[in-house]
Structure 1
């Protein structure tokens, strides 16, 4: 696999990266090695498939760049999306793009990538005009022994997933990091309360609550906290390790939902308070005023 990086980054990253990755395709296997990587500061339209997995706020820039750099190369968007799918990847053509989401997590620091992946990847069911790309992506992941969970309505799935991320990031803003989130017993009870607060925003844009959103909003907060702490993110579990290794900056998902709610006149006191008390609350306040 080859990676595109911005100009000047090849020298920064070098030719290898230290891996500490948990492989969940068959049980639980730790991969710990130095991985030789091939980096490019330019993209030529010569690849079978381009996979885009960037920070959510970077997706518009990535789409703009690929619109000229990728040619007719098929593109898989492995990303959180809050906008409607078509506008989120403009000016790329929807006929050249398919949407999915990985069952993975982690973070990188000091040239060491820590985290891992589960055996499941989520992929949208074929849209008219994308059948050949879907088949290509399917063969790619199945040949690597991943299983595919087919999503009938990817737009709705991503809206729900983005809202869940915002509910989690609200607590990360309060706790200071994703790893700290794991060590507070009330965190996931609060995630449920945050999700409940966002339901009117989801409904205002026409989203239907999926199974996870319903669980977050219907299960009593105290029980939800126990379920997450003792089962879903139990100590030693891969999902917990992925969260503990996540060193990304939280807040963008919260900001996007608050912006949407502000336009619709929907109050979000829990999310707004988290933004206001974050270290970067001043620029955020200016951006939503």
Structure 2
């Protein structure tokens, strides 16, 4: 499969690396002028969750073929679009006239109706998913990251569409399991308010990195997210369809204690938070602002978030 990663951020680089290793032809689109700045190789120091039980640390160089233009005739089969939710409209408008017949995997957070969030991309060419990886680039340019052994892919019908199945197959070829989520809209919105709870606490703690091992901080983050559940219900989300994802908000103290332990001793959990040292990064601030704006619009009190 010929795959284009939109950008050369953390998610694009990690998944570009594993898809390339699985035999796919992978390139990276970067803004004009960025190719010379980035160079054609990136250094990675990451935890590969495909290696059980808790992942294996891998230090390696990865060649990232860069391009500064996209044309419908380029013949890509798949374009992986993973940007902050506040940049989705801009990225989608840029891609729409350049797609050709490629499938676009929208791979990350969103807070609007899914197809509205990525208009004007053709609905029949869009697949929604979510990565299970994270990290950041250090001052030395090394990508410090971690990847769980699975991804989440939304399905629109009882059986996946042809494009959805192609995406699932590509990840499985890379040694990842692909969990197929029937209510992707609800799942994405639940993840969004979960992020709001974490980012809200990160502001108080100083950063997500500072929350490592801090059970009280996780408990407070879960309580903030629990306060936001009525926002999802007012938007028509059936929370009973997401029982497993709801566990931290039903049992915040127990799950917080487990989270505090996990972020101390499990490499993947620790690495995922350790790279996030700036609570004022654009995406966390945008998540908090947009969540609060929606709660106010719906007239739902959120005192923990308001404070």
Work out whether the TM-score is over 0.5. yes
- Structure 1 CA distance for aligned equivalents of residues 261 and 213 of structure 2: 12
Match of 2:117 in 1: 88
Compared CA separation, residues 247 and 76, structure 1 to 2 (3 A): farther
Equivalent residues in 2 for 1:242-261 (5 A)? 242-247=272-277, 249=281, 250-261=284-295
Deviation at 1:212, TM superposition (A): 4.6
Equivalent residues in 2 for 1:116-155 (5 A)? 116-127=146-157, 131-155=161-185
Match of 2:224 in 1: 194
Match 1:37 to one of 64, 67, 86:
64
Deviation at 1:127, TM superposition (A): 4.2
Match 2:92 to one of 54, 63, 86:
63
- Structure 2 CA distance for aligned equivalents of residues 212 and 107 of structure 1: 28
- Structure 2 CA distance for aligned equivalents of residues 170 and 262 of structure 1: 17
Q: RMSD in angstroms over aligned alpha carbons?
A: 1.9
- Structure 2 CA distance for aligned equivalents of residues 129 and 120 of structure 1: 20
Deviation at 1:247, TM superposition (A): 4.8
Alignment of 1:9 with 2:34, yes or no, is: yes
Divergent runs of 4+, >3 A? 126-130
Match of 1:286 in 2: none
Check whether the contact 1:20–1:113 (CA below 8 A) recurs between aligned residues.
yes
Unaligned runs of 5+ in 2: 1-25
- TM-score of the two chains, using structure 2 as the length reference: 0.83
SS of the counterpart of 1:98? Answer: strand
Match of 2:51 in 1: 26
Match 1:226 to one of 257, 260, 264:
257
- Structure 2 CA distance for aligned equivalents of residues 13 and 100 of structure 1: 27
- TM-score of the two chains, using structure 1 as the length reference: 0.88
- Structure 1 CA distance for aligned equivalents of residues 266 and 160 of structure 2: 39
